[in-house]
Chain A
Amino acid sequence: MTRKQRRLTIIGCSLGVLALAAALVLNALRDSIVFFSTPSMVAEQHIVPGRRFRLGGLVQPGSLKRGDNLAVSFEVADTSAKLPVDYKGILPDLFREGQGVVAEGALDPSGVFKADTVLAKHDETYMPKEVADALKKQGHWKDDYGANAGGAVASQGTVPAVEGVTR
């Protein structure tokens, strides 16, 4: 086999694998990306029930109710809207009323957000970045949320985070 043929074979193979990978990536990106919304964006955009998205905002003080067998409900609020959330399971250690939270799940037909994952990616002084950005855009940003972020410990590699994900 000549150098040219060898090269063509390799290039042919590479293109085949790349095409396969591109197809996989495009297919996966179409189906499995999840958008981020705040309660007011949910109100504006009329997200259809059953479509998965991430909901971010502050846990409304006084809204947390614990039911039987680890069922919890709370409200996620931003400056102009609120959305009730149902969740079953153990909440992250740093889940608090008045703190930022990101939950993943979908709306049910009655407009309640059924979360299957609750993330609390922050320590006691820091807001999740999406939530902070969203609140900033709405012009209701208090600087002290982020002020202490420098003090938070940044970890490296696959170091466990300050708080994980609960399922």
Chain B
Amino acid sequence: MIVESGHYALVLALALALIQSTVPLLGARLHDPALMNVARSTALAQLLFVALSFLALVTLHVTSDFSVVNVFENSHSLKPLIYKVTGVWGNHEGSMLLWVSILALFGGLVAAFGGNLPLSLRAHVLAVQAWVASAFYLFILMTSNPFLRLADPPIEGRDLNPVLQDIGLAVHPPMLYLGYVGFSISFSFAIAALLEGRIDAAWARWVRPWTLMAWIFLTLGIAMGSYWAYYELGWGGWWFWDPVENASLMPWLAGTALLHSALVMEKRNALKVWTILLSILTFSLSLLGTFLVRSGVLTSVHAFATDPTRGVFILLILCVFIGGSLMLFAWRAASLKQGGLFAPISREGALVLNNLFLVTACATVFIGTLYPLALEVVTGAKISVGAPYFDLTFGPLLVAVMIAVPFGPMLAWKRGDILGAAQRLLAAGIAALVVLALLWAWTRGGSALAPLAIALAVFVIAGAFSDLAERIGLFRNPPAITLRRARGLPRSAWGTVFAHAGLGVALIGIVCETTWNTEYIGTMKEGDVAKIAGYELKMDGLTQRQGPNYRELLASFAVSLDGARLSAMTPSKRNFTTRAGTSTTEAALQTRGVSQLYISLGEPTPEGGIGVRIYHKPMVLLIWFGPVLMAFGGMLSLSDRRLRVGAPKPAKALRGLQAAE
């Protein structure tokens, strides 16, 4: 019953989406407010039905209804409750359902909070949103229906892939999808603007909060995924340059560029056409990411399911939406009004440079990800493009971006003064040089690259804070005035400071981890001691334990520093009986400040020992603190009164809207 209801609700959502994608457009053409308002009610109703459908699938998973193929293949009655719930999106069908649910959620949000949007713009936006939704409902119903039944239901399920039985699955995919799919809003706004043939600063003011929201989720989603890979896979890596990771990095880079160009458009009414193009590209890259992950087209450590019908269907969606929107862009972009003028050296100029580098960096990732695929299709040769390629291309471009980051906020709009900016960054530059000198002295003979990169990171962080110091007049004014100024500073300015500093923090983490991480690999028996980075790890023995749906082999280690005992660490190896012979390695982590000790286990040896891998990873946590700081900056900026989602801005909205000639 629940199965059929869920399926039926999904079909109804498709029907509603089809109405939503046509009727409002007709209304806009006929200038009929009633028809245009259909968009609002259908978007909300669509959200309701998708939510029902999603809840139905969750219920089926929780109650372990093995008559449903999807539940049978991905669940087990012994599985802990939380993994029964998260297992809903730990598989292809369920994760696509999550995708459309989030799409409907964003459509519903625009419908609910878009009361201050001009009627025809809202109708257009929701209609475009519904086109995307319809395509994906069709995809789910035709190729990946999660509500299919089994003729004779088995009594037990096949269980969720053990690696996915982790709290990471509860957080990472929903976050990532909120980010991916969130960019559909800026896409819909861009298409709506092209269809209507008008765009202005008010448009950017609506788009920016939505983009920012998506960007925050994507940032956190990527960081979370990276940390999950780090502790779950057991080899201590946190970024593989795997195609599937690149698929999430590309929309992030384009989305970051979009955030910045939307700023220029909002403040200076310039870069309109470029902002529209970026909106289209960002969501296209999200769609591409969905295609890469969901079609199984890549040999990737992530995607193993291969089913050509799905691939072809998503490829079709991809071509229609990307091709269609770019064609529309080519056709209509010329009709958009030209924006304001600015000198090359100005805030606008700096943001253009930012966009240029981010988009180019995105392009290099794109080439590295798709070149092997294209080459295989054309010549049949199989190659892999790994970390060295990305280090050589993405690395230098990002260094250029990082050098430029502190200068941007220091330049004035319209016409800036690069020398003045450099003078104000003097303190930051000196801080960076001091750090460089200290590190050079300390790491004598080591790699010269690491101190340079850390100095760059310090420059970015100090630069972000000198911008803040400039604005509040730190040391120039009495403390009381400084404090009042700091309080009066718009939150978006604080947001910029934190987001830019986050970039530097992440870079420090990345450089320290890759340069100074130490590793011990060996076979250890009870009583053996491993020494790493000043720590002593003594193996206390191996024990067996029975978990809910697995057996695990635990190794306990006593950690001591300079003879003083600190703590115990117990990495384990789990054997899942439910999925014949699959095992996972549960690494043990010991956090010391922002550094970590990391132990993962290998195979037990016949003599009673066990293969052990121990890492000391200095400053490793900064890799994820950086993005968290960036997301925090984004949230601050989002909470800025002037930008709040749905905050009323009646006067400006009216004034800002004139049709392009």
Taking each of A18, A124, A165, which has the highest tally of chain B beta carbons within 10 Å of its own beta carbon? A165
Q: Does B383 contact A (CB under 8 A)?
A: yes
Q: Does A146 contact B (CB under 8 A)?
A: yes
- Binding-face segment, B25-33, B326-334, B351-359, B590-598: B351-359
Q: Does B382 contact A (CB under 8 A)?
A: yes
The answer to whether A28 and B92 touch (CB under 8 A), given A124-B580, A153-B161, A164-B233, is no
In the complex, given contacts A156-B293, A159-B172, A164-B237, what are 13 additional A-B residue pairs having Cβ atoms less than 8 angstroms apart? Answer: A17-B357, A70-B522, A119-B301, A129-B306, A149-B306, A153-B74, A153-B304, A154-B91, A157-B176, A157-B225, A157-B247, A160-B164, A161-B233
Task: Find A93's partner among B73, B225, B364, B583 (CB 8 Å cutoff).
Answer: B583
CB distance from A150 to the nearest CB of B (A): 6
Task: Find B344's partner among A3, A9, A91, A164 (CB 8 Å cutoff).
Answer: A9
The answer to whether A156 and B176 touch (CB under 8 A), given A6-B344, A35-B381, is yes
Q: How many Å lie between the Cα of A163 and that of B168 in the bound state?
A: 16
By beta carbon, the residue of chain B nearest A38 is: B382
Instruction: Say yes or no: A157 contacts B293, CB within 8 Å.
Output: yes
Q: Sort chain A's interface into a size bin.
A: 35 or more
CB distance from A64 to the nearest CB of B (A): 11
Instruction: Say yes or no: B302 contacts A159, CB within 8 Å.
Output: yes
By beta carbon, the residue of chain B nearest A154 is: B305
Q: How many Å lie between the Cα of A9 and that of B245 in the bound state?
A: 35
Q: Does A90 contact B (CB under 8 A)?
A: yes
List, in ascending order, chain A residues with CB within 8 A of B169's CB. 159
Task: Find B235's partner among A33, A70, A123, A164 (CB 8 Å cutoff).
Answer: A164
Instruction: Say yes or no: A160 contacts B303, CB within 8 Å.
Output: no
Q: How many Å lie between the Cα of A21 and that of B401 in the bound state?
A: 13
Q: How many Å lie between the Cα of A150 and that of B74 in the bound state?
A: 11
Q: Does B633 contact A (CB under 8 A)?
A: no
Q: Does B659 contact A (CB under 8 A)?
A: no
Task: Find B371's partner among A10, A29, A90, A124 (CB 8 Å cutoff).
Answer: A29
Instruction: Say yes or no: B397 contacts A162, CB within 8 Å.
Output: no
The answer to whether A10 and B352 touch (CB under 8 A), given A3-B341, A17-B360, A159-B225, is yes
Instruction: Say yes or no: B341 contacts A18, CB within 8 Å.
Output: no
Q: What are 21 contact pairs spanning A and B, CB under 8 A?
A: A6-B341, A33-B384, A36-B384, A88-B521, A90-B600, A121-B299, A133-B382, A151-B158, A152-B305, A153-B161, A156-B244, A157-B221, A157-B222, A157-B245, A158-B225, A158-B226, A158-B229, A159-B168, A159-B244, A162-B161, A164-B234
Instruction: Say yes or no: A161 contacts B521, CB within 8 Å.
Output: no
Q: How many Å lie between the Cα of A145 and that of B221 in the bound state?
A: 34
The answer to whether A154 and B303 touch (CB under 8 A), given A70-B611, A124-B581, is yes
Instruction: Say yes or no: B303 contacts A155, CB within 8 Å.
Output: yes
Instruction: Say yes or no: B233 contacts A160, CB within 8 Å.
Output: yes
The answer to whether A149 and B585 touch (CB under 8 A), given A24-B392, A69-B522, A156-B176, is no
Instruction: Say yes or no: B234 contacts A31, CB within 8 Å.
Output: no
Instruction: Say yes or no: B304 contacts A121, CB within 8 Å.
Output: yes
By beta carbon, the residue of chain B nearest A34 is: B384
Q: Does A61 contact B (CB under 8 A)?
A: no
The answer to whether A152 and B602 touch (CB under 8 A), given A24-B393, A89-B521, is no
By beta carbon, the residue of chain B nearest A69 is: B522
List, in ascending order, chain A residues with CB within 8 A of B233's CB. 160-161, 163-165
Instruction: Say yes or no: A91 contacts B602, CB within 8 Å.
Output: yes
Instruction: Say yes or no: A36 contacts B307, CB within 8 Å.
Output: no
Instruction: Say yes or no: B91 contacts A153, CB within 8 Å.
Output: yes
Instruction: Say yes or no: B234 contacts A21, CB within 8 Å.
Output: no
Q: Does A81 contact B (CB under 8 A)?
A: no
The answer to whether A36 and B383 touch (CB under 8 A), given A29-B371, A152-B161, is yes
Instruction: Say yes or no: A159 contacts B356, CB within 8 Å.
Output: no
Task: Find A21's partner among B173, B177, B299, B363 (CB 8 Å cutoff).
Answer: B363
By beta carbon, the residue of chain A nearest B230 is: A160
Q: Does A42 contact B (CB under 8 A)?
A: no
Task: Find A129's partner among B91, B247, B299, B302 (CB 8 Å cutoff).
Answer: B299
By beta carbon, the residue of chain B nearest A89 is: B521
Instruction: Say yes or no: A6 contacts B388, CB within 8 Å.
Output: no
Q: Does A40 contact B (CB under 8 A)?
A: no
A16-64 contacts to B, CB under 8 A, are 17-18, 20-21, 24-25, 27-29, 31-36, 54
Instruction: Say yes or no: A153 contacts B90, CB within 8 Å.
Output: yes
Q: Does A97 contact B (CB under 8 A)?
A: no
Q: How many Å lie between the Cα of A147 and that of B98 in the bound state?
A: 26
By beta carbon, the residue of chain B nearest A36 is: B382
The answer to whether A122 and B304 touch (CB under 8 A), given A89-B521, A166-B235, is yes
Q: Does A14 contact B (CB under 8 A)?
A: yes
Q: Does A126 contact B (CB under 8 A)?
A: yes
B180-220 contacts to A, CB under 8 A, are none
List, in ascending order, chain A residues with CB within 8 A of B521's CB. 70, 88-90
Q: Does B523 contact A (CB under 8 A)?
A: yes
Q: Does B101 contact A (CB under 8 A)?
A: no
List, in ascending order, chain A residues with CB within 8 A of B603's CB. 90-91
CB distance from B379 to the nearest CB of A (A): 12
List, in ascending order, chain B residues with CB within 8 A of A25's CB. 364, 367-368, 393
List, in ascending order, chain B residues with CB within 8 A of A152's CB. 161, 304-305
CB distance from B181 to the nearest CB of A (A): 12
Taking each of B166, B240, B248, B303, which has the highest tally of chain A beta carbons within 10 Å of its own beta carbon? B303
Q: Chain A 76-112 against B: per-residue CB contact (8 Å), 1 yes, 0 no? A: 0000000000001111011000000000000000000
The answer to whether A34 and B90 touch (CB under 8 A), given A17-B356, A17-B360, A130-B299, is no
CB distance from A123 to the nearest CB of B (A): 7
Instruction: Say yes or no: B305 contacts A24, CB within 8 Å.
Output: no
List, in ascending order, chain B residues with CB within 8 A of A160's CB. 163-164, 166, 168, 228-229, 232-233
Q: How many Å lie between the Cα of A69 and that of B95 in the bound state?
A: 43
By beta carbon, the residue of chain A nearest B361 is: A21
CB distance from B42 to the nearest CB of A (A): 28
By beta carbon, the residue of chain A nearest B248 is: A157
Instruction: Say yes or no: B163 contacts A124, CB within 8 Å.
Output: no
Instruction: Say yes or no: A93 contacts B164, CB within 8 Å.
Output: no
Task: Find B301's partner among A54, A124, A163 (CB 8 Å cutoff).
Answer: A163
Q: Does B396 contact A (CB under 8 A)?
A: yes
Q: How many Å lie between the Cα of A147 and that of B372 in the bound state?
A: 26
Q: Does B342 contact A (CB under 8 A)?
A: yes
Q: Chain A 1-18 against B: per-residue CB contact (8 Å), 1 yes, 0 no? A: 101001001100110011
Q: Does A167 contact B (CB under 8 A)?
A: yes
Q: Does B7 contact A (CB under 8 A)?
A: no
By beta carbon, the residue of chain A nearest B245 is: A158
List, in ascending order, chain B residues with CB within 8 A of A14's CB. 356
Instruction: Say yes or no: A165 contacts B235, CB within 8 Å.
Output: yes
Q: How many Å lie between the Cα of A124 and that of B242 in the bound state?
A: 22
Q: Does A140 contact B (CB under 8 A)?
A: no
CB distance from A105 to the nearest CB of B (A): 13
List, in ascending order, chain A residues with CB within 8 A of B397's CB. 20-21, 24
Instruction: Say yes or no: A128 contacts B299, CB within 8 Å.
Output: yes
Instruction: Say yes or no: A156 contacts B305, CB within 8 Å.
Output: no
The answer to whether A90 and B161 touch (CB under 8 A), given A150-B307, A161-B233, A164-B233, is no
Q: Does A66 contact B (CB under 8 A)?
A: yes
By beta carbon, the residue of chain B nearest A27 is: B392
The answer to whether A94 and B582 touch (CB under 8 A), given A6-B341, A89-B521, is yes
CB distance from B364 to the nearest CB of A (A): 6
